[in-house]
C-alpha cells in the first residue's frame, strides 16, 4: 500500500478516525491497522513478520531473565533475523552470482523479497542490543508490537531507536494543535518531494537507463545527475510522510535527512544522508568494531567494512557493493588527508560542489538496474563529451526537471530548521507555507502511483 495511493488515503482516514473515537485503545488499533497495512501486500509474509516480531520479543525477555546466558542469547537472537534476511534477500545472489550455480529449475529461484525486511531486521537487532545494554527493560508485548509493526516506518524507515520510541508508546498518544500543524507541513512537504520531484524525474531517468545503448554520453550523465535528486526526493519524501503521520498522534521520529547536498565533504554528507541508517551503522557496527580507537589502518578497515556492508544491505547486487565500497574508499581518503596532509579548499562553494559531483558519480551504480547495465554504461560513456549539452535529448524534460530542482532547493532553504520554527510560531507564515506547498503540488504533481524506490530494499 503506497502513501501516494487512494487505498492508503482511505486506510489512513479510517485509522485516524478509530484513534480519535477509541483513544484508550490506540495501541491495539495501531497493531491491527499495521498488520492490515502489511498484509494488504502479502498475507504470507505478514505472518512471517508477526512470527519474527513475537520471537524477537521473547528473546528479549530471555536476555533479561537469563543473566548468565544473556550474551549467548543475544548472539542467537541476532543470527535468527539475519538468517531470514539472507534466505530471502541474498541466497539467490550468493548461489547464482558468487558460486555460479544455476538454480533456474529450483523452487528457491522463485524466492520473493518481502518488502521492508531489511528495515525490520535492523529494528529487531536494535531492540535486542538495547535490551542487552540495559537501555530497555520490562517491555510488554503490546508496546513492543506497536514499535515493531508501526506502519508509517515499517516498510522503508526511518529506523527508529527502540529506547526512543517505546517510552513514547508507553506514555501514550498526544493530540494537540502544535502536533497537527507540524504533521501537516511534514506530510505536504513529503508529498511534494514524491509527487512533484521524484515522479517527474523518474520519467527521464527511466527513459535514459532503460535505453542506454540508444543515447549519448551527455544524456547518460544528465540521467545520472537527475537520479541523485530522484533518490533523495523519493526517500526523503517517504521519510517526511512517515515522520508526519507519527507526529500527528504525538510520536516523534527523528529526521532522516538534513540538506545532504549542502555538505562540504563526504563525511558530512553521511551525517546528513539517511541519518537513521548511518547512525545505526556507527553505533551498532563501526564503534563495536573499534571505531577510530586503534590507529589509522584499523580505522580505515572499519570504515570500509561498514560501508561495504551498508552497500550490501541495500541490495543483493554487485552494483550496491560497488556503491558502498566507493563511499568507503573516499571516506578513507578523507580520513588520511585529515590525519596527514590537511589539504583543504578554503572556498565553501567549491567544497560543496566537489562533494555533490562526487556523490553524483558514486550514485551511478546505485541507480543503474543491473551489473550488466553498469558495464554497458561504462563502455558507452565518454568523459570528454559529457559536457556537450547541445547533444542532450528531450531538452523540454531537462528544462522542466531543472525548474523542479530549483523549486526543491528554494523550499529546502525556506523550510530549514530555523525558519521552520518561525513558521510554526506564526499563523501567517504557517498559512503561507501550507498554501505554497499545496499550490506547487497541484501545479507540478505527477499522480501516478509509482512505488517508492526504497521498497525494494
**Do 188 and 438 form a contact (C-beta atoms < 8 A)?**
yes
Whether residues 137 and 190 share a domain: the answer is no
Conformational region of residue 158, where left means phi above 0, alpha means psi within -120 to 50, and beta covers everything else: beta
- Angle at the Cα of 261 (from 260 to 263), degrees rounded to 5? 70
Please indicate, yes or no, if residue 353 is contained in any of the structural domains: yes
* pLDDT score at 277: 95
Instruction: Tell me the Cα Rg of the chain.
Output: 23
Measured from the Cβ of residue 329, the count of other Cβ atoms closer than 10 Å reads 17
Please indicate, yes or no, if residue 195 is contained in any of the structural domains: yes
For 77, 339, 395, the CA distances from 298, given in Å and listed in that order, are: 28, 14, 49
| Secondary structure class of 353 (helix, strand, coil) | helix
Mean pLDDT by 10-residue block, N- to C-terminus, for the chain (457 residues)? 90 96 96 96 93 97 93 96 93 75 55 87 96 92 97 91 95 92 95 96 93 90 96 96 96 94 96 96 94 90 96 93 97 91 85 96 95 93 83 83 93 82 89 93 89 81
Whether residues 355 and 337 share a domain: the answer is yes
* pLDDT score at 103: 57
**Cα(320)–Cα(311) distance, integer angstroms:** 5
pTM of structure: 0.93
Please indicate, yes or no, if residue 309 is contained in any of the structural domains: yes
The active-site residue, picked from 211, 274, 314, 327, is 314
Q: Which three cell numbers stand for residue 23?
A: 483513544
Whether residues 304 and 325 share a domain: the answer is yes
Whether residues 207 and 141 share a domain: the answer is no
Whether residues 165 and 201 share a domain: the answer is no
Helix axes of 177-191 and 417-425: crossing angle, nearest 10 degrees: 130
User: Where a domain ends, among 139, 171, 203?
Assistant: 171
- Our count of domains for the chain comes to 2
Whether residues 27 and 103 share a domain: the answer is yes
**Do 194 and 3 form a contact (C-beta atoms < 8 A)?**
yes
**Do 220 and 439 form a contact (C-beta atoms < 8 A)?**
no
User: Where a domain ends, among 117, 152, 171?
Assistant: 171
Please indicate, yes or no, if residue 1 is contained in any of the structural domains: no
Structural domain range at position 348: 178-456
Q: Using H for helix, E for strand and C for coil, what is the string for 96-114?
A: HHHCCCCCCCCHHHHCCCC
**Do 435 and 242 form a contact (C-beta atoms < 8 A)?**
no
Place of cell 492508503: 8
Please indicate, yes or no, if residue 122 is contained in any of the structural domains: yes
**Cα(284)–Cα(270) distance, integer angstroms:** 16
Q: Which three cell numbers stand for residue 51?
A: 512470527
Please indicate, yes or no, if residue 292 is contained in any of the structural domains: yes
Which DSSP state fits 152?
Answer: G
* pLDDT score at 221: 93
Whether residues 340 and 381 share a domain: the answer is yes
Whether residues 141 and 212 share a domain: the answer is no
**Do 194 and 233 form a contact (C-beta atoms < 8 A)?**
yes
Whether residues 48 and 130 share a domain: the answer is yes
Whether residues 355 and 438 share a domain: the answer is yes
**Do 228 and 359 form a contact (C-beta atoms < 8 A)?**
yes
Please indicate, yes or no, if residue 311 is contained in any of the structural domains: yes
Is 211 one of the annotated active-site residues of the chain? no
User: Where a domain ends, among 108, 138, 171?
Assistant: 171
Helices and strands of the chain, counted as H and E runs: 21, 0
* pLDDT score at 100: 66
Please indicate, yes or no, if residue 249 is contained in any of the structural domains: yes
Whether residues 185 and 329 share a domain: the answer is yes
Separation of first and last alpha carbons in the chain: 16
Whether residues 141 and 194 share a domain: the answer is no
Amino acid at each position: 500500500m503506497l502513501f501516494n495511493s487512494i487505498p492508503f488515503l482511505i486506510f489512513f482516514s479510517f485509522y485516524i478516525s478509530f484513534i480519535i473515537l477509541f483513544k484508550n485503545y490506540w495501541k491495539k488499533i495501531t497493531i491491527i491497522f499495521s498488520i492490515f497495512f502489511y498484509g494488504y501486500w502479502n498475507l504470507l509474509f505478514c505472518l512471517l513478520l508477526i512470527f519474527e516480531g513475537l520471537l524477537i520479543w521473547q528473546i528479549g525477555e530471555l536476555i533479561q531473565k537469563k543473566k548468565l546466558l544473556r550474551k549467548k542469547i543475544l548472539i542467537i537472537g541476532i543470527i535468527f533475523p539475519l538468517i531470514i534476511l539472507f534466505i530471502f534477500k541474498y541466497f539467490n545472489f550468493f548461489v547464482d552470482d558468487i558460486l555460479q550455480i544455476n538454480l533456474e529449475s529450483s523452487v528457491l529461484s522463485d524466492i520473493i523479497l518481502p518488502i521492508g525486511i531489511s528495515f525490520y531486521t535492523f529494528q529487531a537487532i536494535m531492540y535486542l542490543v538495547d535490551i542487552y545494554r540495559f537501555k530497555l527493560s520490562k517491555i510488554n508485548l503490546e508496546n513492543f508490537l506497536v514499535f515493531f509493526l508501526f506502519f508509517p516506518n515499517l516498510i522503508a524507515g526511518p529506523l527508529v531507536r527502540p529506547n526512543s520510541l517505546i517510552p513514547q508508546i508507553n506514555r501514550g498518544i498526544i493530540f494537540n494543535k502544535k502536533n497537527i500543524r507540524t504533521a501537516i507541513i511534514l506530510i505536504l512537504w513529503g508529498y511534494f518531494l514524491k509527487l512533484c520531484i521524484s515522479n517527474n524525474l523518474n520519467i527521464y531517468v527511466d527513459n535514459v537507463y532503460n535505453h542506454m545503448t540508444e543515447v549519448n554520453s551527455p544524456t547518460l550523465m544528465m540521467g545520472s545527475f537527475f537520479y541523485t535528486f530522484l533518490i533523495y526526493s523519493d526517500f526523503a519524501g517517504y521519510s517526511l510522510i512517515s515522520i508526519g503521520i507519527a507526529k500527528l498522534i504525538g510520536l516523534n521520529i527523528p529526521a532522516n535527512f538534513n540538506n545532504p547536498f549542502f555538505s562540504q565533504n563526504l563525511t558530512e554528507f553521511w551525517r546528513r544522508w539517511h541519518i537513521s541508517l548511518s547512525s545505526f551503522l556507527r553505533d551498532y557496527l563501526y564503534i563495536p568494531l573499534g571505531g577510530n580507537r586503534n590507529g589509522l589502518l584499523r580505522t580505515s578497515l572499519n570504515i570500509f567494512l561498514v560501508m561495504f556492508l551498508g552497500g550490501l544491505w541495500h541490495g543483493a547486487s554487485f552494483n550496491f557493493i560497488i556503491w558502498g565500497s566507493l563511499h568507503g574508499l573516499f571516506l578513507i581518503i578523507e580520513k588520511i588527508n585529515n590525519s596527514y596532509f590537511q589539504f583543504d579548499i578554503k572556498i565553501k562553494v567549491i567544497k560543496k560542489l566537489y562533494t555533490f559531483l562526487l556523490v553524483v558519480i558514486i550514485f551511478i551504480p546505485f541507480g543503474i538496474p543491473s551489473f550488466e547495465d553498469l558495464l554497458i554504461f561504462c563502455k558507452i560513456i565518454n568523459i570528454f563529451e559529457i559536457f556537450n549539452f547541445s547533444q542532450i535529448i528531450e531538452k523540454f524534460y531537462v528544462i522542466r526537471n531543472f525548474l523542479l530542482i530549483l523549486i526543491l532547493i528554494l523550499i529546502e532553504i525556506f523550510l530549514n530548521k530555523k525558519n521552520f520554527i518561525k513558521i510554526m510560531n506564526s499563523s501567517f507564515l504557517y498559512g503561507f507555507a501550507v498554501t505554497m506547498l499545496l499550490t506547487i503540488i497541484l501545479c507540478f504533481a505527477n499522480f501516478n502511483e509509482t512505488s517508492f524506490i526504497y521498497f525494494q530494499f
